[in-house]
Amino acid sequence: MNGFFAGNVITPKNGTLTRVPISGGSIFKYKPNASFEGRDTILINMFNSLSTYIGYIVSTSNSYVDSKNDYRFSSMNSNLDIDALANDSSTTGSKTLTKVSISNGGTASINNNLIHFEPFDNFTGIARIYYTVCNEVGVCNESQVFIYVSSSIDSDTNQIYLNKNKSSIIILPDDNFVLTSSPNKGGQLTFIENNAYNYKPAVNFNGIEKFTFTNSNGKLFHVSSKIFNTNNPTFFVKDDIAYTPEATPITINVQSNDIEKSKFVINSFTNSGDALSITQNGALFTVVPKNNFKGTIHFTYNAKYIGSPSNNVPANETGNVAIVVSNQKPIQQVYSINAIKNTPTILKNKSNLNAYNINIIDNPYHGTVNYYPGYNSIVLNGENVSGYNMLIYTPNNNYIGPDSLLIEHCINGNCSNVLINTNVIDKNTTCFNDCVWPGDANKDGIVDFTDALVLGSQMGKVGEERVDPENDYYPQAASNWNNPFSENIINNKHLDANGDGIISIEDTVAINNFYLQTNNITNENFSIFKQSPLDIIDANPGYHYKGDKVKFYIVLGIDTTPAINFNGINFSLTFSPTKVNPDSTRVKFYSDSWLTYTSSYFDMIKKPIVGRTDMIISRVGNKPTSGIGIIGEINIVVEVDVNGFQLSDDAFNYHITNIRVTGNDGEIYALPDITKRFKLLKEKAPLDNSQLLLSPNPTNGVVELYMNGGYVINGISVHNTSGQLVENITNLNTKNYKLDLSNLASGLYFVSVQTPDGIVNKKVEVIK
């Protein structure tokens, strides 16, 4: 580890630290004591100051497994057996393939310590396998296999994105490629194995760099890399988050978490249109929210270095401040919570505020409820339980069945009633504290796709199996997992929904089964960052007609607002069911987008209420990436009324809400809601080629034809590039038709559709 202003060092408790001076700083070498396992802390005194230390947490284990990525290639529809452990190592010498957590582009299984991979029919592109390898003492690690499955495409172009001073993997179609055009901006390529290189741009370079590989048959593989001019991480100035009730001023010391604050002075700050005023008094900022404002106030401050001259200290650093203005009242007016016979249930609001209080209006009929105002630590059934404003519900002895209690949640005189319905069930458990609720991976009291984001960042981790796990939504006892290398602040036992001792795609089943079920009181929250790189855009902007099939692109990142350090994202899309056919909504995330390029991934879709679609896509492992562009698509059909007439409105709104993102170190934060406008035509537009939709295109067999604009398909003809008729279908009267082109050779074809008003034409490409 490097420490560049280090003075004195506080010796770690469980090891020794030696310091080696170098030009401009020091190198520290840590050696754990014999037989020590766990986490140790190192404190380094900065500037020989009395108050400023930098801390390092070092995790040590009795052994270590070093797992490395593997790179392979194959032709379409060809199976592979992969020795993924060949380049992995263990300090004990033993290595065992323990689990394939997820695979993309095909199925993967373990056979004799090999990974057997079978691609999906006609799949082409990069398949991914995420696996866990362990040694004989239970120490594990995760890695990936990337398989480039090729077709007969003549050439490929690969667009990659990365942050300044970061590197990226380049995966080629096979090992027959050589570099024929080097990176044109000073970047370096290092061969890894088989068909993979590591690409690293020049130091501090940002912009676009290109290079090309060519195989012996003259096939070209172009790479265009866009390197974002990301800010260097601040070392001394740290971002701040504070919370205040609505219409309540707050004073915050923005330097309370900064390093060596006495050597920096705040010389400027920005204002916010969401605040009545922001005033500064040294490091203290007083923020007065606007009346009736609810949300997040953002501003920045600039800190100037005033200490002794040093080449290693930046002249200025900028801090971001987020003030969340909200009463953080419970999201729901009614909660349904499972309780266990003869076992207490602890209810805690997850609010960041201590300004609220709870009043019990109606006691339960078949139990008791005790309220502990303020912060309390009590002994309950022999266990220590602590929390703020705890409600503890206990059913009557041996009672099984429904019960309810009514409470009032108040803050600054603003009160709302909350009905809590309990369902007391008979289960073989007495767990009531730090229990696993299958699916609630982040312990926020509700199962939703934010839990799937947490799963994504910890995929493949291994721990202790749960005793008698059950696929049912009730509190289950589990031993804490001991993983000294995990960055997750929540013990990983809560992510292991099925209790098998490993976090895998199988744990998403509980999220799907128990979606939106609650186990505690949940409160509203707001975005921490103002700009959102997410957008939903119409693939064919303009007006649409009744019965039209409309495609929207899911865009994550644009040139002016790139998506920086994203590991996953989930959000809700809501259309009025009177405007859009709720059964028509289809979501597809692309397997070749920038978000999934260097990682295995998974996605999930749910329709919890009529008109709303929830969706998530997440990389696996805690390795965020950056990029811009389309990551998927959403298809809908515009609704018509019962008489078949066009809707009377010429436009309506749709909404993108509940946006959550996983960033660095597994951090989850919210982005602002988005409202968009959708335009409708009251009369049919003239017939146009754009009204004929072909999907998928290219295709390996069947392509669906859909006529927009209120037109219907009467006949279909298909010609090859020589003008020869290869398919002809007549006597149709439909808006959509599935056309089977599987008997045609690979190539380009022309599809003509006869309508009552004329002919429209489109090209389709067949790839075998």
How many domains in the chain? 8
Residue 466 lies in a domain: yes
Residue 548 lies in a domain: yes
Segment 302-314 shows an average pLDDT of 80
Question: Do 307 and 396 lie in a common domain?
Answer: no
How confident is the model over 72-120, as pLDDT tens digits? 999 999 999 999 999 999 988 899 999 999 999 999 999 999 999 999 9
Looking at 390, 414, 433, the residue that finishes a domain is 433
Per-residue model confidence (pLDDT) at position 349: 82
Question: Do 470 and 396 lie in a common domain?
Answer: no
Cβ pair 506, 323 in contact under 8 A: no
At residue 45 the predicted structure's pLDDT band, cuts being 50, 70 and 90, is: low
At residue 643 the predicted structure's pLDDT band, cuts being 50, 70 and 90, is: very low
Segment 173-189 shows an average pLDDT of 96
Q: How far are the Cα atoms of 378, 386, 422, 424 from residue 383, in angstroms, in the given order?
A: 8, 10, 23, 21
At residue 246 the predicted structure's pLDDT band, cuts being 50, 70 and 90, is: very high
* Residues contacting 465, CB < 8 A, separation 6+: 499, 500, 501
Per-residue model confidence (pLDDT) at position 3: 42
CA angle 156, 158, 163 (to 5 degrees): 170
CATH number at residue 458: 1.10.1330.10
Question: Do 546 and 673 lie in a common domain?
Answer: yes
- Residue 27's nearest CA partner among 9, 49, 40 is 9
Domain assignment of residue 173, given as a range? 156-228
Per-residue model confidence (pLDDT) at position 2: 43
Segment 25-53 shows an average pLDDT of 69
Q: How far are the Cα atoms of 7, 337, 551, 585, 651 from residue 647, in angstroms, in the given order?
A: 73, 41, 19, 19, 9
Per-residue model confidence (pLDDT) at position 644: 46
Residue 684 lies in a domain: no
Residue 559 lies in a domain: yes
* pLDDT over threshold 70, residue 260: yes
* pLDDT over threshold 50, residue 59: yes
Residue 234 lies in a domain: no
At residue 138 the predicted structure's pLDDT band, cuts being 50, 70 and 90, is: confident
Cβ pair 133, 97 in contact under 8 A: yes
At residue 46 the predicted structure's pLDDT band, cuts being 50, 70 and 90, is: low
Residues in the chain: 768
d(CA 576, CA 582): 8
At residue 487 the predicted structure's pLDDT band, cuts being 50, 70 and 90, is: low
End-to-end CA distance of the chain: 52
Question: Do 669 and 556 lie in a common domain?
Answer: yes
Question: Do 417 and 550 lie in a common domain?
Answer: no
Query: Which amino acid, residue 74?
Result: S
Question: Do 394 and 468 lie in a common domain?
Answer: no
Question: Do 304 and 320 lie in a common domain?
Answer: yes
Segment 733-751 shows an average pLDDT of 94
Question: Do 550 and 671 lie in a common domain?
Answer: yes
Question: Do 111 and 126 lie in a common domain?
Answer: yes
Question: Do 539 and 663 lie in a common domain?
Answer: yes
**Average model confidence (pLDDT) across the chain:** 90
Higher pLDDT, 80 or 30: 80
Rg of the Cα trace of the chain? 29
Write out the H or E segment, with its range, that includes residue 110: strand 106-111
CATH number at residue 135: 2.60.40.10
Q: Which two tokens stand for residue 79?
A: 């199976």
Segment 111-132 shows an average pLDDT of 95
d(CA 343, CA 339): 7
Looking at 180, 205, 228, the residue that finishes a domain is 228
* pLDDT over threshold 50, residue 645: no
Residue 529 lies in a domain: no
* pLDDT over threshold 70, residue 484: no
* pLDDT over threshold 90, residue 660: yes
d(CA 500, CA 466): 7
At residue 350 the predicted structure's pLDDT band, cuts being 50, 70 and 90, is: confident
Give the strands of the sheet with 240-244, arranged side by side.
Answer: 240-244, 316-325, 295-305, 264-269
d(CA 471, CA 273): 49
Question: Do 666 and 725 lie in a common domain?
Answer: no
Q: Which of 47-51, 306-310, 562-566 has the lowest mean pLDDT?
A: 47-51
0.85 exceeded by pTM:
yes
* pLDDT over threshold 60, residue 502: yes
Question: Do 594 and 714 lie in a common domain?
Answer: no
Looking at 474, 499, 523, the residue that finishes a domain is 523
How confident is the model over 390-421, as pLDDT tens digits? 999 999 999 999 999 999 999 988 899 999 99
d(CA 86, CA 145): 12
How confident is the model over 664-682, as pLDDT tens digits? 878 888 888 999 998 888 7
- For 107, what's the count of Cα atoms within 13 Å in the CB-facing half-sphere? 5
- Residue 603's nearest CA partner among 551, 556, 653, 637 is 556
Residue 80 lies in a domain: yes
Residue 235 lies in a domain: no
